[in-house]
Amino acid sequence: MAHPNYPHLFEALNLGFTTLKNRFVMGSMHTGFEDHLNELNRLKNYFVRRAQGGVGLIITGGYAPNRLGRLTPFAASFNSKKMIRAHQNLTKAVQAAGSKICLQLLHAGRYSYHPFSVAPSRIRSPITPFTPFAMPGLLVQMTINDFAKAAMNAKEAGYDGVEIMGSEGYLVHQFLSKRTNHRKDKWGGSFENRMQFALEIVRATRKRVGQNFIIIFRISLLDLVQGGSTPSEVIQFALALETAGVTLLNSGIGWHESRVPTIGSMVPAGAFSSVTGELKKRLKVPIIAVNRINRPELAESILAKGEADLISMARPFLADPDFVLKSEKNQAEEINTCIACNQACLDHIFQGKKASCLVNPLACEEEKWNELFLKTKTSKRVAIIGSGPAGLSSAIAFLEKGHQVTVYEKSDSLGGQFKLATLIPGKSDYRESIRYWKTRIEHLGGKIVLNQNVNDIETVRAFDEVVIACGVKPRDPKIPGQDLPHVYFYDRFLREQIKPASRIVIIGAGGVGFDVATYALHAGSDEDRNPAHFMEHWGIDTHAPGGLSTVKPNVMSPRKITLLQRSDAKFGRTLGKTTGWIHRLELKRSGVKMIAGVQYEKITEQGIWIKGKDQKTTLIEADQIILCAGQVSEVSLVKKLEEANIKFHLIGGAKLASEIDAKRAIREGMELALI
C-alpha cells in the first residue's frame, strides 16, 4: 500500500537484477575514516546506524582507483586484496541492517593535494598548489583499467555497486571539459573525443563486473565555470553513458573551483532539482536529484513532479540517521534537520579532522555515545535556565536518560542566538533546529516555561540539578558616543528587525558582523527562499554553456555599508573553511567596504571617527552604527546561586563566551547530561 504522505519516496525501485526498497539515497561524503583501515570499524558503525534508520541505498566517500588518484598523500585507494578483505565486514553489516551499499570511485586528477598529481593536461587548478603532470596515452589506458579493477574489487568486497565520480571537477570531469583538456590525441579535441575517457571507464567496468552490479555515474549537469559543457552536450553525454552500461545517473552541480555556492545555507531548498528534471525527460535509466534537499516533503514533491527517480541526501543523514524511519512514521516534525552550515562536516574534513555534525554530535561517534543513552536508575529533577542551543540540546539528552526536565526561558520563544540567526537571509533553516528541539522536548515529556526570567533562587531550589545555559550578551566596546539613538547592539538591531538605513557602519567583523552586513544588504527580506532570485543573483543560466549567464549580475547594493575591525588580519578569517569564501565574495561584490587596523575614537550624530593605519583621524558618515564586538557570558544568576550555596552547572556561552559557536554549545549541553 502506498505511503499516505510520501507515496513516491516509499515506492520500491526495481533495477532489473536488484530492487531498492525506497527512493532515499545517502549520498557520498567523506568522514575521515575511509583512509585508515584501523578506523573501518567506526565507518561500519556509522553506515550501519544509517541503514538501521531505513535508507535504501548508501554511497561511501570517495576511494581512488589507484595511488595517483588519491586526494591526499595518505588517502585510501581501492586496489588491494587487503582492502577487499577489510571491507567485507562493513558491506555485510550494512546489508544485514537492510540497505544496499555502493563504493564511490574518485580519481582526484588535478585536485589531488600531492606533488604527483596527474590530469589530461598540465594546467593547475585555482584551488590546489600543485601543477599536475599531463597523462601519457599509456597512463590514460592504465587508469581506465584501474577503475574497472577497483570496481571488481568492490564487488569482491561485497558492495552492491560503484559510483564513478564524473563531476565536481575531478579527473573524469577534467577529461570531459575543454577547460582542462587541451590534448591533441584521441582523448582530446572534440566533445565526442573528450567523452571517451568516461565512456571507456563505464564500458570496461561493466565488462569486468557483469550485468548484475549497480554502476552509478555522477554526471555534471551544471559546471558553473567558464568553458563548461552546454546543455545539449550534457544530454549527448548522458545518452552515451546509458549505452555504455550505467544503471543509474546521479546529478553533479558545479566544480569545486566554481565561485557559485551550490550547497551552502544560502542556496534555496531544492534549487537544482529542475535541472535534473530536464535531463530526466531524455533518459531511460533512473536519475538521482541532489543538493539542498533536507526535508521529506521537499523530496516527495521533487519525485511527484517527475524531476527525479531517487533523492540523494548526504548531510541530512549525518544530522539525523532516522530521517527515513521518522518520515515513514509520519514524524517529520521530529527530524533533526541539517541546516547546511558545514561547520562540523565539510569544514572538519577540510581541516583534516573527522566529520561530525553541529546539530548531532553523535554522528561518526556512534560507539562512544550509544551506551551513554541507557536509562538512568535515579531520575532527577533538572532545571535548565536558558533555551539556546546548549540548553535545549542538554534538555533533550537529560530527558532521553530518563530525568525530569523544566526549561526556563525569559523571552516568549525558544532558540537563543539561533533565533537571531533565523533573521539573516540565507539562514532561515535555523528555524528547523528550534522546531526540532521544541518537538523533541515536548515528545519526551519535558516542561517549557516561557516569559520567566529566573532571577530568584527560590524557583530553582526544588531541583536536584540546575543548569545555567543563559548564553551570551553583546560585548560593550565602550566607544564614546555609543549611547546615541542611531547606535544599536546587533541583538536589538536584528530582534527588532530595524530597517537598514542608507549608510551603515558595522563595528566588528566576526561571524556576527558578516551576518549583520548580509542582513543590511538584503534589508532583512526573505528573498533567499526563492530559487529564481538565487539563480539571477549568482549569474546562473541553466540554458547557457557551463550554466553561467553572460550578463554579469547586478548585485551592487544601494546602501553604503562599511565593516570595521581593529586587527590587521584578513577579513572573515574566523568563518568556516567551506563557506567563508561565499560570505566574503557576497559582501565584496555588493560593494561593502572593509577597513582593517582601525581605532575607534568617538561616535557623533554624523557617524564614527576612526584613526586609520596611517594614524590620520577621519569621519565615516553613517545613519546607523551597529555594534558587533563579540560577546560576554550572561551569568547574572551565578552569583546568587553561589551565595545561596546551590550547586549548578554552566554550559555553552554562559560558561565561556570567547568564540562560542553552536557546535561547542550543543556538544557541551549533551555531554553534561550523558557523561
Q: Catalytic residue positions?
A: 170
CB 232 → ligand SF4: shortest distance, Å? Answer: 34
- Dist. CA 420–CA 111, nearest whole Å: 38
CB 336 → ligand SF4: shortest distance, Å? Answer: 8
Given the complex with ligand SF4, which of 209 and 338 has the nearer CB atom?
338
Given the complex with ligand SF4, which of 79 and 336 has the nearer CB atom?
336
Given the complex with ligand NAP, which of 581 and 648 has the nearer CB atom?
581
Partner in contact with 344, chosen from ligand SF4, ligand NAP, none, beta carbon below 5 to 8 Å by kind: ligand SF4
Given the complex with ligand NAP, which of 363 and 628 has the nearer CB atom?
628
CB 442 → ligand SF4: shortest distance, Å? Answer: 22
Using left for φ > 0, alpha for ψ between -120 and 50, and beta otherwise, residue 402 falls in left
Binders of ligand NAP among residues 442 to 501 (CB under 6 A) are 475, 477
CB 529 → ligand NAP: shortest distance, Å? Answer: 19
- Dist. CA 604–CA 543, nearest whole Å: 52
Q: Which of 158, 169, 228, 513 binds ligand NAP (CB under 6 A)?
A: 513
Q: Which of 35, 146, 661, 668 binds ligand NAP (CB under 6 A)?
A: 661
**Residue 508 binding ligand NAP, by CB under 6 A:** yes
Given the complex with ligand NAP, which of 507 and 641 has the nearer CB atom?
507
**Residue 277 binding ligand NAP, by CB under 6 A:** no
Q: Which residues bind ligand SF4 (CB under 6 A)?
A: 315, 318-319, 338-345, 357-359
- Dist. CA 387–CA 408, nearest whole Å: 7
CB 250 → ligand SF4: shortest distance, Å? Answer: 19
- Residue 298, helix vs strand vs coil: helix
- Given a contact cutoff of 8 angstroms between Cβ atoms, the answer to whether 121 and 112 are in contact is no
CB 126 → ligand SF4: shortest distance, Å? Answer: 24
Strands (E), 438-507: 447-449, 465-468, 472-474, 487-489, 503-507
- Dist. CA 408–CA 392, nearest whole Å: 10
Q: Which of 515, 586, 634, 668 binds ligand NAP (CB under 6 A)?
A: 515
Burial 579-611 (b: 16+ CB within 10 A, else e): bbbbbbebbebbebebbbebebbebeeebbbbe
Partner in contact with 342, chosen from ligand SF4, ligand NAP, none, beta carbon below 5 to 8 Å by kind: ligand SF4
CB 436 → ligand SF4: shortest distance, Å? Answer: 11
**Residue 625 binding ligand NAP, by CB under 6 A:** no
Name residue, grid cell 576511494: 63
Neighbours of 405 (CB within 10 A): 27
**Residue 575 binding ligand NAP, by CB under 6 A:** yes
Given the complex with ligand SF4, which of 144 and 289 has the nearer CB atom?
289
Given the complex with ligand NAP, which of 222 and 660 has the nearer CB atom?
660
Partner in contact with 358, chosen from ligand SF4, ligand NAP, none, beta carbon below 5 to 8 Å by kind: ligand SF4
**How far apart, in Å, are the Cα atoms of 146 and each of 271, 388, 458?**
35, 51, 71
**Residue 409 binding ligand NAP, by CB under 6 A:** no
Task: Find, among 386, 401, 322, the residue nearest to 671 by Cα.
Answer: 401
Contact segment (CB under 6 A) with ligand NAP among 152-160, 245-253, 303-311, 654-662 equals 654-662
Partner in contact with 383, chosen from ligand NAP, ligand SF4, none, beta carbon below 5 to 8 Å by kind: none
Partner in contact with 660, chosen from ligand SF4, ligand NAP, none, beta carbon below 5 to 8 Å by kind: ligand NAP
**Residue 520 binding ligand NAP, by CB under 6 A:** no
The residues, any chain, with a CB within 8 Å of residue 340's CB and separated by 6 or more, are 263, 264, 265, 267, 292, 294, 315, 429
The residues, any chain, with a CB within 8 Å of residue 644's CB and separated by 6 or more, are 457, 461
Rounded to 5 degrees, what angle do the CA atoms 116, 121, 125 make?
Answer: 70
Half-sphere exposure of 562 (CA within 13 A, CB side): 19
**Residue 351 binding ligand NAP, by CB under 6 A:** no
- Given a contact cutoff of 8 angstroms between Cβ atoms, the answer to whether 525 and 641 are in contact is no
Task: Find, among 336, 290, 295, 331, the residue nearest to 313 by Cα.
Answer: 290
- Dist. CA 351–CA 122, nearest whole Å: 27
CB 246 → ligand NAP: shortest distance, Å? Answer: 38
**Residue 666 binding ligand NAP, by CB under 6 A:** no
Partner in contact with 318, chosen from ligand NAP, ligand SF4, none, beta carbon below 5 to 8 Å by kind: ligand SF4
**How far apart, in Å, are the Cα atoms of 439 and each of 73, 390, 401, 444?**
45, 16, 17, 9
Contact segment (CB under 6 A) with ligand NAP among 131-139, 158-166, 542-550, 570-578 equals 570-578
- Dist. CA 581–CA 249, nearest whole Å: 30
* Residues 511, 513, 518, 522, CA torsion sign: positive
**Residue 630 binding ligand NAP, by CB under 6 A:** yes
Given the complex with ligand NAP, which of 477 and 591 has the nearer CB atom?
477
- Residue 319, helix vs strand vs coil: helix
CB 348 → ligand SF4: shortest distance, Å? Answer: 8
Given the complex with ligand SF4, which of 319 and 441 has the nearer CB atom?
319
**Residue 665 binding ligand NAP, by CB under 6 A:** no
> Phi and psi dihedrals of 310, rounded to 5?
-140, 160
**Residue 546 binding ligand NAP, by CB under 6 A:** no
The residues, any chain, with a CB within 8 Å of residue 48's CB and separated by 6 or more, are 93, 94, 97
Using CB under 6 A as the criterion, which residues of the chain lie in contact with ligand NAP when the complex forms?
475, 477, 507-515, 565-567, 574-576, 583, 628-631, 659-661
